[in-house]
């Protein structure tokens, strides 16, 4: 194992499955509208509830790594709706990471689709 990686592993105190943590997604969206001085479009409250429920389920799973220094890193598995670092491989490096977050546009389309399917039942 590369020395740098070994040193990093020595610093890890514990890893927790943090899939059930309280999400601040709704607060972030509210702050964007408040900062811009905008009113919520119709349906935003329902959308925020929908996204929060999905992120609190297994779909929003992530792993929080706690370092002995007190720092934490949220590692997001592929396909998760969580926000954090995704581990990637590329041609230049053996491994790396990138910051990811769910696509609001995709979630909105899925929300509208779920509402439409509920109305036809």
Looking at residue 33, its pLDDT comes to 72
Greater pLDDT, 110 or 96: 110
Residue pair 85/99 in contact by the 8 Å Cβ criterion: yes
Q: Which residue has the higher pLDDT, 61 or 33?
A: 61
- 16 phi and psi, to 5 degrees? -125, 145
Give pLDDT, residue 93. 65
The mean pLDDT of 21-38, rounded to a whole number, is: 69
pTM: 0.67
User: What distances in angstroms separate CA 104 from CA 56, 71, 96, 100, one per listed residue?
Assistant: 16, 28, 25, 12
Determine the average pLDDT of the residues in 7-23.
49
pLDDT score recorded for residue 87: 85
Task: Give residue 18's pLDDT.
Answer: 52
Whether 22 shows a pLDDT value over 50: the answer reads no
């Amino acid at each position: 194992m590369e020395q740098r990686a070994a040193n990093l592993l020595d610093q890890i105190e514990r890893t927790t499955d943090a899939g059930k943590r309280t999400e601040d997604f709704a607060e972030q969206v509210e702050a964007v509208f408040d900062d811009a001085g905008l009113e919520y479009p119709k349906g935003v409250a329902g959308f925020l509830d929908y996204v929060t429920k999905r992120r609190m389920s297994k779909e929003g799973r992530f792993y929080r790594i706690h370092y002995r220094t007190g720092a934490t890193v949220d590692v997001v598995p592929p396909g998760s709706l969580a926000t954090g670092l995704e581990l990637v491989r590329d041609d230049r490096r053996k491994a790396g990471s990138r910051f990811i977050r769910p696509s609001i546009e995709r979630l909105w389309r899925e929300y509208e689709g779920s509402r439409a399917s509920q109305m036809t039942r």
